[in-house]
Amino acid sequence: MKKWQKSFLGLLCLIYIFVLSMTIWPQSITVTNDFIAKINDSNPINQHEFLNIAQISLLALTVLVLVIVVLIPAQKKGILLEKNKQGLLSLSNEGVISFIITRLSGYSMSNIKVNFKNTKKINRFDITADSLYKNHVIKQLPEIKHTLTSEIQELLSGVDDKKIKLNIKVNQKQSSSSHKKKSTRVV
């Protein structure tokens, strides 16, 4: 789970706790309302209106979360190869990633990182790599992309007819000698 998802769920839980505690113990609203009215020198808020607004906002937030959960596509842990009475045979996402790294290492690329999203309708690959020969690799990039796409389709032939989307980014690797130059000082 990502940090923003944890933060959002934590905030949602705090809101639920606050609204449910107000529903269970309505006298807490009265005490809080009187305390805020004394501090601000204002009229107290109507307890029933405040509770109704809190419950309606909680209901709207719950519906919003439900819609988000339903619309976000679920990622699959592997690609189903065969399913029969004896069991299930699948190719894991890590196996596909390893296949791609092996294929790309022959094109003078290093530090290859593959982000694979396997959903119901699409297999999406976001690949980043370093290369000492950036200009040469960039010229070959359309050919590399076409070859890799056909190899992935061949790997998954007859099994997975989903659309394959492939993005490759190549960064130039910095040489360590130019990066670590230090000036000397004679005293």
- What tens digit of pLDDT does each residue of 14-35 get? 888 877 777 777 777 777 777 7
**Residue 34 in 3-state DSSP?**
helix
Angle subtended at Cα 78 by Cα 75 and Cα 82, rounded to the nearest 5 degrees:
130
pLDDT given at position 159: 67
The type of residue at 46 is N
Q: Give the predicted TM-score (pTM) of the model.
A: 0.56
In whole angstroms, give the CA distance from residue 175 to residue 40.
64
Give the residue-averaged pLDDT of 147-165: 81
The residue among 172, 125, 158 whose CA lies nearest residue 144 is 125
pLDDT at 129 over 80: yes
pLDDT at 178 over 50: no
In this prediction, residue 160 has a pLDDT band, given cuts at 50, 70 and 90, of: low
The residue among 32, 62, 58, 61 whose CA lies nearest residue 45 is 32
**Residue 181 in 3-state DSSP?**
coil
Mean pLDDT of the chain: 78
H-run or E-run covering 60: helix 47-71
Q: Do 89 and 83 form a contact (C-beta atoms < 8 A)? A: yes
pLDDT at 127 over 80: yes
Q: Where are the beta strands (DSSP E) in the chain?
A: 78-84, 87-92, 110-118, 122-131, 163-172
